[in-house]
């Protein structure tokens, strides 16, 4: 059994989904592990990680529309915590509703994603950020 650790820093353009499947695959290819488990950890409280369909952009639009209705932006009139703006507390709530950690099986040196699946960093703040993701791979070469 072997372990590898790494880090990805992902730039976002503001609220929305950033496909991180390619950088994850590139990092995995360098590790020399063919069977195992990759854990991805987002070190932020206003961004998250999801696995979702990668074929239709409407899926990503519909997800954002749904979350905007479920967790609307708002300042003092809606939330007590608003120090960093009207999107501050909603970003924290969105991160709670999604996840800051994913575990993905590795088979034959590849992420065991389904045909239409991709891994996304979900930025919940309105402005651009640089998000740090920690990677932990456990497996056999």
pLDDT digit string, tens, across residues 38-92: 999 999 999 999 999 999 999 999 999 999 999 999 978 899 998 889 999 999 9
pLDDT at 83: 84
pLDDT at 76: 82
pTM above 0.85, yes or no: yes
Both structure tokens of 4: 């590898």
Partnered with residue 41 across adjacent β-strands are 101, 134
HSE, CB side, 13 Å, CA atoms: give it for residue 98. Answer: 33
pLDDT at 77: 85
Q: Which contacts of 23-31 are long-range, i.e. CB under 8 A and separated by 24 or more positions? A: 24/111, 24/119, 24/135, 25/110, 25/111, 27/135, 28/106, 28/109, 28/110, 28/111, 28/137, 29/109, 31/4, 31/6, 31/137
Beta strands in 12-69 (DSSP E): 16-19, 35-42, 47-53
Question: What percentage of the chain reaches a pLDDT higher than 70?
Answer: 100
What is the mean pLDDT of the segment spanning 102-129?
A: 98
What is the mean pLDDT of the segment spanning 33-40?
A: 98
């Amino acid at each position: 059994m072997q372990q590898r650790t790494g880090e990805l820093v992902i730039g976002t353009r503001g609220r929305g989904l950033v496909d991180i499947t390619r950088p994850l695959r590139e990092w995995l290819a360098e590790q020399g592990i063919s069977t195992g488990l990759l854990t991805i950890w987002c070190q932020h409280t206003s961004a998250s990680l999801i696995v979702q369909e990668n074929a239709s952009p409407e899926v990503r639009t519909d997800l954002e529309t749904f979350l905007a209705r479920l967790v609307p932006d708002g300042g003092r009139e809606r939330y007590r915590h608003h120090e960093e703006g009207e999107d501050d507390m909603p970003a924290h709530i969105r991160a709670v509703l999604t996840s800051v950690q994913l575990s993905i099986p590795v088979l034959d040196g590849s992420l065991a994603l389904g045909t239409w699946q991709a891994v996304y960093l979900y930025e919940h703040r309105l402005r651009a950020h640089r998000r740090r993701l920690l990677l932990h791979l456990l497996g056999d070469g």
